[in-house]
């Protein structure tokens, strides 16, 4: 012990220099915090922040790491290094900042990779994502509710925009619930640090791209959560935001250069009208204000055309994949960022991890506009976003109408779904569309508690969501009929999951804690999700559908000689469905209905009760 201590002290003395006259340059931020040897892209940017460090001479003490470039910024508190790691072995080397006779040493670790890029499996249409807002799901560790020194230093569950104390431990404590429910992937709203004064419980104002918010847990806890989820057959999707950061981020508060943020770091509001990106008639003003304007004054807009910004953001995403082994990224406000940069980012991630998946938030109102953002879109050519998965917001809107209306042969109700899907040729890959009834930004599928008494609406919607094409996503609490409308405030769309906090009056994680109606919804959801899990007909099958006959929508999913046929009555009346049009999807004269367990005769007609759905497997 004593000998080791002396060697350590000698090393410290050597590294910090012998002059005691003045303090040496102090580096307070290093990004990335560490990296790996053996990544496909051999270049590494290291961003150093510290008081006046730009006046130092920079070198490194490694034999196989090459320092290619040292870049200074307008702000003397930054030094940016570019390293060539193509020959680098796993090691800890030192970045030496020499100022006169004084040398500051920053140890930098290149770790041994623990996974091959090909082994990282992304989410696919075989999965169902379950979206959780970490602050609002379950409070597994009340001791982290308030972290001294952080700017928002209280929890208040009665206030919709305050922090409520949910955390990673709370999610880890309920992995069994999620596994039993039958979802196969967890998507977390951003868990990265949001050290803002207020209103950042949702996570979309990141103040440190390499740090899990300490009120949610540590980086290690997040890594362990991902590992535990994997052990239960659940994938992990991480939310990222490249368009903007929180204004308390050190990159903004002490910005390297004014051109790290759009409009030279002064606040100009975005129009949110991102259709201008692909609009052939768009005025230059429209495009610029949409993509370069700031999301809000407290969310400054990154200039990804600055190569240092671009490299910083790309590396931060690769870091989380390699560190935690996540299976996917959900990219916030995808169309608001620079198109070419985002395309480059997708390519680089998929180059390192070819089986990975990325879904971009493409909140646009038509399939034409959404399709533009998907990889290999003919409509975007010759440009290519390289974004594998886009969000089906138009279908979300239609699903929120279709199950309330009477369906006819030419309008309303389920006709809307049929009509929309007839236009799927606009998409380069319709199976890679994220489909959802609701999410953290929309009204919940039930806007009011009293509406939940009409449970058939949910049963039909969920059946459609889980059997049509695409990658379904369920929002936490939808399975227990949590209701809220956007007009109540966004915080109300993100209410606490009942039972996630000690002392909650109801614990909806258990059957005993749920009402009879909630149990009916939960059991229906669970049964359908468990049926879908591992079902290749749904995960990979072709979709063939018919126009509306007798108010009923009929479609088939088929794969390698097996098929599933759905017959959904979209009216409040009993319907006698003449089976003549459907012969090509009815290989047998009878089939068992999944929902009732009864054998259905498929001769001349089928009689469907009001809003009844048949789910027949062949």
In the complex, the residues that contact Ca ion under the rule CB under 5 A are 139, 141, 144-145, 165, 167
Q: CA quadruple 291, 296, 297, 302: dihedral positive or negative?
A: negative
Query: Which residue's CB is nearer to Ca ion, number 141 or number 392?
Result: 141
Distance in Å, CB of 7 to Ca ion, minimum: 41
Query: Which residue's CB is nearer to Ca ion, number 49 or number 169?
Result: 169
Query: Which residue's CB is nearer to Ca ion, number 186 or number 567?
Result: 186
Closest of 244, 256, 291 to residue 272, by C-alpha = 291
DSSP E strands, 362-426? 389-391
Question: Do residues 578 and 605 lie in contact, with contact meaning Cβ atoms separated by under 8 Å?
Answer: yes
Give the helix/strand (H/E) hosting 167. none
Tokens linked to 306? 């600055």
- For residues 277 and 53, what is the distance between their CA atoms, to the nearest angstrom? 40
Distance in Å, CB of 139 to Ca ion, minimum: 4
- For residues 239 and 189, what is the distance between their CA atoms, to the nearest angstrom? 5
Closest of 31, 7, 253, 233 to residue 130, by C-alpha = 233
* Burial readout 305-317 (b: 16 or more C-beta within 10 A, e: otherwise): ebebbbbbbbbbb
Tokens linked to 572? 């409040």
Distance in Å, CB of 500 to Ca ion, minimum: 10
Query: Which residue's CB is nearer to Ca ion, number 144 or number 317?
Result: 144
Question: Do residues 136 and 164 lie in contact, with contact meaning Cβ atoms separated by under 8 Å?
Answer: yes
Mapped onto helix, strand or coil, the DSSP state of residue 90 is coil
From the candidates 332, 338, 348, 496, give the one annotated as an active-site residue: 332
Question: Do residues 444 and 478 lie in contact, with contact meaning Cβ atoms separated by under 8 Å?
Answer: yes
Distance in Å, CB of 365 to Ca ion, minimum: 38
Question: Do residues 521 and 455 lie in contact, with contact meaning Cβ atoms separated by under 8 Å?
Answer: yes
Query: Which residue's CB is nearer to Ca ion, number 217 or number 335?
Result: 217
Distance in Å, CB of 172 to Ca ion, minimum: 12
- For residues 400 and 444, what is the distance between their CA atoms, to the nearest angstrom? 9
Distance in Å, CB of 249 to Ca ion, minimum: 23
Query: Which residue's CB is nearer to Ca ion, number 37 or number 171?
Result: 171
Under 8 Å CB-to-CB from 70, ≥6 apart: which residues? 58, 79, 80, 81, 82
Under 8 Å CB-to-CB from 588, ≥6 apart: which residues? 602, 618
Catalytic, 332? Answer yes
Q: CA quadruple 297, 299, 305, 307: dihedral positive or negative?
A: positive
Tokens linked to 589? 């004269």
- For residues 183 and 555, what is the distance between their CA atoms, to the nearest angstrom? 23
Under 8 Å CB-to-CB from 274, ≥6 apart: which residues? 290, 291, 335, 336, 364
- For residues 142 and 138, what is the distance between their CA atoms, to the nearest angstrom? 10
Distance in Å, CB of 509 to Ca ion, minimum: 17
Closest of 213, 267, 221 to residue 244, by C-alpha = 267
Query: Which residue's CB is nearer to Ca ion, number 144 or number 569?
Result: 144
Distance in Å, CB of 518 to Ca ion, minimum: 25
Torsion of the alpha carbons at 188, 190, 196 and 202, rounded to the nearest 10: -50
Catalytic, 556? Answer no
Tokens linked to 174? 């309920």
Distance in Å, CB of 193 to Ca ion, minimum: 15
- For residues 92 and 474, what is the distance between their CA atoms, to the nearest angstrom? 43
From the candidates 248, 361, 438, 479, give the one annotated as an active-site residue: 361
Closest of 440, 420, 527 to residue 484, by C-alpha = 440
Distance in Å, CB of 165 to Ca ion, minimum: 4
What are the phi and psi torsion angles at 212 (to 5°)?
-70, 140
Residue 178: Cβ-neighbour burial (10 angstroms; 0-12, 13-18, 19+): buried
Distance in Å, CB of 167 to Ca ion, minimum: 4
Query: Which residue's CB is nearer to Ca ion, number 167 or number 361?
Result: 167
The residues pairing with 80 across neighbouring beta strands, listed in sequence order, are: 47, 71
Query: Which residue's CB is nearer to Ca ion, number 154 or number 453?
Result: 154
Query: Which residue's CB is nearer to Ca ion, number 167 or number 392?
Result: 167
- Return the residue matching tokens 């270049």: 43
Query: Which residue's CB is nearer to Ca ion, number 164 or number 459?
Result: 164
Known catalytic residues are 332, 361
């Amino acid at each position: 012990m004593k000998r080791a201590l002396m060697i350590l002290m000698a090393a410290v003395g050597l590294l910090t220099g012998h002059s005691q006259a003045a303090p040496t340059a102090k580096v307070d931020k290093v990004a990335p915090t560490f990296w790996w040897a053996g990544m496909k892209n051999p270049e590494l940017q290291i961003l150093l922040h510290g008081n006046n460090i730009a006046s130092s001479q920079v070198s490194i003490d490694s034999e196989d790491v090459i320092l290619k470039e040292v870049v200074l910024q307008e702000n003397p508190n930054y030094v940016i290094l570019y390293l060539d790691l193509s020959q680098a072995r796993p090691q800890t080397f030192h970045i030496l900042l020499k100022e006169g006779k004084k040398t500051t040493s920053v140890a930098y670790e290149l770790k041994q990779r623990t996974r091959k890029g090909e082994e990282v499996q992304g989410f696919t249409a075989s999965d169902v994502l379950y979206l959780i807002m970490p602050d609002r799901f379950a409070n597994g560790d009340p001791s982290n509710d308030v972290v001294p020194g952080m700017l928002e230093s209280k929890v208040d569950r009665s206030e919709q925009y305050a922090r409520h104390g949910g955390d990673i431990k709370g999610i880890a404590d309920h992995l069994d619930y999620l596994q039993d429910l039958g979802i196969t992937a967890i998507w977390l709203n951003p868990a990265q640090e949001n050290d803002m004064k207020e209103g950042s419980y949702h996570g979309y104002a990141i103040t440190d791209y390499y740090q899990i918010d300490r009120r949610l847990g540590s980086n290690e806890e997040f890594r362990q959560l991902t590992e535990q989820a994997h052990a239960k057959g659940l994938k992990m999707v991480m939310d990222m935001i490249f368009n903007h950061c929180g204004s308390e981020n050190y990159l903004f508060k002490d910005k390297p250069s004014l051109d790290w943020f759009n409009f030279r770091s002064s606040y100009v509001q975005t129009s949110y009208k991102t259709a201008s990106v692909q609009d052939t008639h768009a005025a230059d003003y429209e495009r610029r204000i949409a993509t370069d304007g700031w999301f809000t004054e407290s969310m400054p807009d990154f200039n990804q055309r600055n190569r240092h910004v671009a490299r910083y953001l790309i590396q931060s995403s690769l870091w989380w994949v390699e560190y935690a082994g996540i299976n996917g990224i959900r990219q916030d406000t995808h169309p608001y960022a620079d198109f070419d940069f985002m395309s480059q980012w997708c390519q680089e991630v998929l180059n390192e991890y070819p089986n990975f998946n990325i879904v971009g938030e493409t909140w646009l109102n038509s399939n034409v506009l959404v399709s533009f953002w998907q990889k290999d879109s003919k409509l975007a050519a010759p440009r290519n976003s390289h974004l594998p998965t886009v969000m089906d917001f138009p279908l979300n809107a239609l699903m929120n109408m279709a199950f309330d209306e009477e369906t006819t042969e030419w309008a309303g109700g389920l006709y809307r779904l049929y009509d929309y899907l007839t236009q799927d040729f606009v998409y380069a890959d319709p199976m890679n569309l994220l489909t959802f009834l609701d999410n953290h930004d929309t009204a919940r599928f039930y806007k009011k508690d009293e509406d939940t008494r009409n449970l058939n609406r949910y049963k039909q919607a969920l059946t459609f969501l889980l059997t049509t094409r695409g990658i379904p996503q369920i929002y936490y609490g939808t399975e227990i009929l949590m209701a809220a409308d956007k007009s109540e405030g966004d915080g109300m769309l993100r209410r606490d999951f009942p039972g996630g906090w000690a002392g909650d009056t109801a614990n909806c994680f258990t059957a005993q804690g749920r009402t009879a109606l909630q149990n009916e919804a939960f059991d229906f959801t669970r049964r359908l999700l468990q049926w879908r899990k591992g079902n290749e007909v749904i995960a990979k099958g072709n979709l063939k559908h018919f126009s509306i006959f007798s108010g009923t929508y009929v479609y088939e999913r088929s794969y390698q000689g097996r098929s599933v046929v759905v017959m959904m009555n979209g009216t409040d009346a009993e319907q006698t469905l003449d089976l003549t049009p459907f012969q090509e999807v009815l290989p047998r004269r009878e089939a068992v209905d999944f929902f009732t367990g009864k054998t259905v005769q498929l001769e001349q007609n089928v009689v469907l009760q009001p809003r009844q759905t048949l789910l027949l497997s062949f």
